[in-house]
């Protein structure tokens, strides 16, 4: 009775893989994530952005990337981070699910008007790229003494 299931399981998974490939072709790469913990395409690397009166801080969670191969630039208040991540793959392996991003990426963030593109610091540590963009001195709030 169970001897038939081995062949059935193999063909069933092959059918599911083929159906998923057809869905990818039909709906394209911009369809919603397939699992509760999956990230939408175009959202690698994940980013956190915060600000203080002195600066804007951007954190990219980019474990496994070579920081020397990242391209970080600011132009007209747009912060652009681009790079590539290649994952090792076995040629003869069948993958049933791949959730780690592989390939080129480009993230563009709009920055506030008061940032100073000449005062940017970037550091990569423990898989996190931290970019700190300072605000212009004239734009910072200042306390006025009452006489």
Give residue 119's pLDDT. Answer: 92
28-44 pLDDT, tens digit per residue, is: 655 555 554 455 555 77
Give residue 96's pLDDT. Answer: 74
C-alpha 36: how far from chain center: 17
Q: Answer yes or no: is pLDDT of 103 > 70.
A: yes
| Long-range contacts from 72-78, C-beta under 8 angstroms, 24+ separation | 72/122, 72/129, 72/131, 74/111, 74/115, 74/117, 74/120, 74/133, 75/117, 77/110, 77/111, 77/112, 77/113, 77/115, 77/117, 78/108, 78/109, 78/110, 78/111
Choice between 134 and 139, residue whose per-residue pLDDT is larger: 134
Q: Which of 128, 108, 130, 107 is nearest to 55 (CA)?
A: 130
User: Among 24-28, 52-56, 71-75, 132-136, which stretch is predicted with the lowest mean pLDDT?
Assistant: 24-28
Residue 67, number of CB atoms within 10 A of its CB: 14
CB 54 within 8 A of CB 134: yes
Tell me the whole-structure pTM to 2 decimals.
Answer: 0.63
Most confident of 5-19, 20-34, 61-75, 89-103: 61-75
CB 69 within 8 A of CB 44: no
- For the segment 61-70, the average pLDDT, to the nearest whole number, is 84
Q: Which of 64, 59, 33, 27 is nearest to 46 (CA)?
A: 59
- For the segment 50-56, the average pLDDT, to the nearest whole number, is 92
Q: Answer yes or no: is pLDDT of 9 > 70.
A: no
Give residue 129's pLDDT. Answer: 94
Q: In what order do the strands lie in the sheet with 71-75?
A: 71-75, 78-85, 103-110
106-131 pLDDT, tens digit per residue, is: 999 999 999 999 999 999 999 899 99
């Amino acid at each position: 009775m169970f001897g038939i299931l081995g062949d059935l399981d193999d063909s069933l998974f092959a059918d599911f893989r083929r159906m998923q490939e057809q869905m990818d072709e039909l709906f394209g790469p911009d369809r919603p994530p397939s699992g509760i913990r999956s990230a939408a395409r175009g959202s690698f690397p994940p980013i956190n952005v915060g600000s203080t009166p002195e600066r804007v801080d951007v954190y990219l969670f980019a474990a496994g990337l070579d920081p020397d191969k990242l391209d970080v630039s600011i132009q007209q208040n747009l912060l652009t981070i681009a790079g590539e991540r290649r994952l090792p793959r076995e040629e003869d392996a069948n993958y049933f699910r791949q959730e780690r991003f592989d390939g080129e990426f480009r993230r563009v963030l709009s920055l506030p008007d008061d940032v100073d593109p000449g005062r940017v610091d970037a550091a990569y540590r423990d898989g996190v790229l931290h970019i700190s963009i300072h605000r212009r001195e004239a734009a910072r709030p200042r306390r006025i003494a009452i006489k």
